[in-house]
Structure 1
Amino acid sequence: MIDQPVCLTLIVPHQLRDEMFDILAEQSDLVSGFTALQGSGHGTEVRLLTAAERVKGHADQTVVQVVLASTDASRLLERLRVSFAGTKLVYWTMPVTELGMID
């Protein structure tokens, strides 16, 4: 059976961005690359950590997306749970139905 690829999305507070990038770079057995986008967190569960975020009314966040096999995503999440325990990182996975590169 072929392992279904998924897109793992991580919502990372700005203060943890560089640490997340470093840890993902260290996971070369699971992660061949990732995409990061600047984001703004809104909602009752979003923690506004700085005075600037409280004034703006949203949290500065980074959205990190990694496409990998479903079993590798589970293994990566276990490692991230250890490295980021207590940080309340939000994540989700979605099936990838097609993946390719346009030359």
Structure 2
Amino acid sequence: MTDQPVCLTLIVPHQLREEVFDYLAEQTDLVSGFTASHGAGHGADVRLRTAAERVKGHADQTTVQMILAERDATSLLDRLRASFAGTKLFYWTIPVAEFGTID
């Protein structure tokens, strides 16, 4: 593992949104911030949990993205696996070539 930055993306069921936000906010040693947006999940592995989702044909989800060092992303994923076991959070990481702030 390296300090190379990665973008960690989490796909969170709508019902877990606030719980995951609170959890990430508590992980101050790894997470300095994140961005969240509304998503609509489609596919064979997506659980349609409510009658409204079954009628719409997609699951209401939240996409959460954060930039972390690769080793921190690995540590955070280990913590998420322990704290959110069985919740079917989807995730992926991609390398980040450049990251910064334009002032």
TM-score tier, shorter chain, comes to over 0.9
The offset of 1:53, in angstroms, is 0.1
The offset of 1:3, in angstroms, is 1.1
Runs of 5+ unmatched residues, structure 2: none
Percent identity of paired positions between Structure 1 and Structure 2: 75
TM-score (norm 2): 0.97
1:56-78 CA deviation, whole Å, 9 max, x = no partner? 00000000001000000000000
Alignment RMSD (CA, Å)? 1.2
Distance 1:66 1:23 in 2: 14
**Cross-structure match for 2:32:** 32
1:42-99 CA deviation, whole Å, 9 max, x = no partner? 0111100000000000000000001000000000000000110011110000000000
Q: Residue 99 in 1 paired to residue 103 in 2? A: no
TM-score (norm 1): 0.97
* Aligned residue type for 1:40: A
**Cross-structure match for 1:74:** 74
**Cross-structure match for 2:5:** 5
- 4+ long deviations beyond 2 Å: none
Runs of 5+ unmatched residues, structure 1: none
Aligned residues: 103
Distance 2:57 2:101 in 1: 38
Secondary structure in structure 1 of the residue aligned to 2:77: helix
